[in-house]
Amino acid sequence: MFNHGAYPEVESSYDEEGNYYAYTTYDVPAGSPLRMSYGDPTNPSFLFARYGFLDESTEATFCKIIPEHINKDMEELGYAHNRMLFYKDGNVSEEVWDILLFQHVSSTKIGDKRALMEAHRSGDYATKQMLHEKYYENTSAMLLEHLESFLEQLEKLSSKAGERQRDLGDHPRLPLILAHNEFVKQTFLAVRMQNFGY
């Protein structure tokens, strides 16, 4: 009965007969928990949905940018729940900036969209960086708008949950949901502080 750990102490294997073996992955001092990995530690939403716990030790969480349509170019740029990350220290993963840039140039400058994809495919970091600087004002505005609207949405959701806290007998998981929403909120606030100073 191993708990989940982002840096698990335990790994497992099977022999040819199908017998199971668990081993330590590093030196484990006495008094320590023995943990295994249940899944991607940068995807706490999946861990919560599947296993029912909030992994507050995680360094990052999915940024919650969910476009209506995700095309192959976006996947190539790194659109995935475990790569589009907001970090608890306020940093934003490169993939988030790339997707914001892609969304912007897709609707305004098709030529720069092609340049972005070619630079990405060829590993032309300098060109990508130039495009990011050229459109920073637009992409940072998109990021701020997403942060503000999501924080507002979170506030409404948590208020809704909070109003029914007295009905814990009917909805005993509400406190955990509130904790989850608060965890996401704090990460979003850290990103806003890091990137916009408030």
Partner 1 sequence: MKFILLLSILDAAAAFTSPFRPTTTIITTTKQQHPNHDHRLYSTYDTDYSETTLIDIDEEAPRDIPSMEAWSYEMGAQRTDGFALTTDDGGYNVYAMTNVDLPTGSPILTIPEHMILSSNKAMAELRTSDMSEAEKIVKSVNAESEFRHYYLMLKLLVEYEKGMESPWYQWMNSLPRYYTNAASMTPFCCLCLPSLMRKLTVQERGYLQRLGVSSIKMVPYLNEDTKYDVDLCTWVYQIVYTRSFETADGDLKIVPLADVSVMHVR
174 binding partner 1? (CB under 8 A): yes
List all residues 6 or more positions away from 59 whose beta carbon is below 8 Å from its beta carbon. 6, 41, 42, 87, 88, 89
Among 6, 115, 130, 157, binds partner 1 (CB under 8 A): 157
Minimum distance of partner 1 from residue 155's CB (angstroms): 11
With left for phi above 0 and alpha for psi between -120 and 50, is residue 52 left, alpha or beta? left
For residues 76 and 3, what is the distance between their CA atoms, to the nearest angstrom?
A: 34
Determine which residue in the list 6, 38, 40, 109 makes contact with partner 1, applying CB under 8 A: 38
Structure tokens at 23: 């081993």
Structural contact between residues 62 and 84, judged by C-beta atoms closer than 8 angstroms: yes
Give the C-alpha distances (Å, rounded to integers) separating 71 from 8, 77, 92, 107, 138: 35, 10, 22, 14, 21
Binding of residue 88 to partner 1 (CB under 8 A): no
CA distance 92 to 132: 14
Instruction: Closer to partner 1 by CB, 105 or 161: give it.
Output: 161
Nearer to partner 1, 27 or 137 (CB): 27
> Shortest Cβ distance from residue 76 to partner 1 (Å)?
21
Assess 82 for contact with partner 1 (CB under 8 A): no
Quick check: 67 binds partner 1 (CB under 8 A)? no
| CA geometry: angle 190, 193, 195, nearest 5 deg | 105
- Site for partner 1 contains 33 (CB under 8 A): yes
- For partner 1, the binding residue among 7, 22, 114, 125 (CB under 8 A) is 22
Interface contacts to partner 1, rule CB under 8 A: 1-4, 9-10, 12, 14, 17-36, 38, 45-46, 48-54, 62, 64, 66, 81, 150, 153-154, 157-158, 160-161, 164, 170-181, 184
